[in-house]
Amino acid sequence: MLTLSLRRILMWYAVALAVSFLTGAVLTMAHTQPAMTPPTLVPDVSPWDLFTVIARANGKLWAFMSLGVVAFGSVGLVALVGNGLRFGMDVTALALAAPGELFYLLPHASLEFTGFLLAAAACQFLGVRLFAVLVLDRPAGPLRTAIWANACSLLLLFAAALVETASAAGRAG
């Protein structure tokens, strides 16, 4: 019997993220012209306001993925694959149009996707455990690691918001 561990879910979710990223990249490469122009920053936005907008967006997606536990964790996978597909398209278009911009994009994106990957895997694990308790009438078992991973994912997302804010401030200045 296949045992479903947090590590195994995390591994499969990382594969799903990589495949969706590569799919987005291939779809973008199929076009002859880049579908994206380099981003421009609004100069009158304060770093605090920018951080607040980014942190709220990350927090909303994290909450959406975390509340997906009631859907037995499937919400996290859908959100992860969708964001991976879009990110693959964005990175490829940016690499074709303005490769220098990748220097500003990749540091915070790696933190964000690690946070989202952890959140999705932890919520899938918790969803499976919830299913085992509610439907199969089995004991919940240890949940501490998955809860800790989900909490760490939120911290990673706020760190990503800080890095993105600093990157935007460095790019504008």
- For 128-167, write each residue's pLDDT tens digit: 888 777 888 777 677 888 889 889 999 999 999 999 888 8
pLDDT of residue 1: 37
Decide if pLDDT at 93 tops 60.
Answer: yes
Task: Give the chain's length.
Answer: 173
The number of beta carbons lying within 10 Å of the beta carbon of residue 27 is 14
End-to-end CA gap in the chain: 57
> pTM value?
0.82
Q: Do 172 and 41 form a contact (C-beta atoms < 8 A)?
A: yes
Q: How far apart are CA 71 and CA 82, in angstroms?
A: 17
Angle at 87 between CA 89 and CA 82, to 5 degrees: 100
Lowest mean pLDDT among 39-43, 84-88, 114-118: 39-43
pLDDT of residue 2: 46
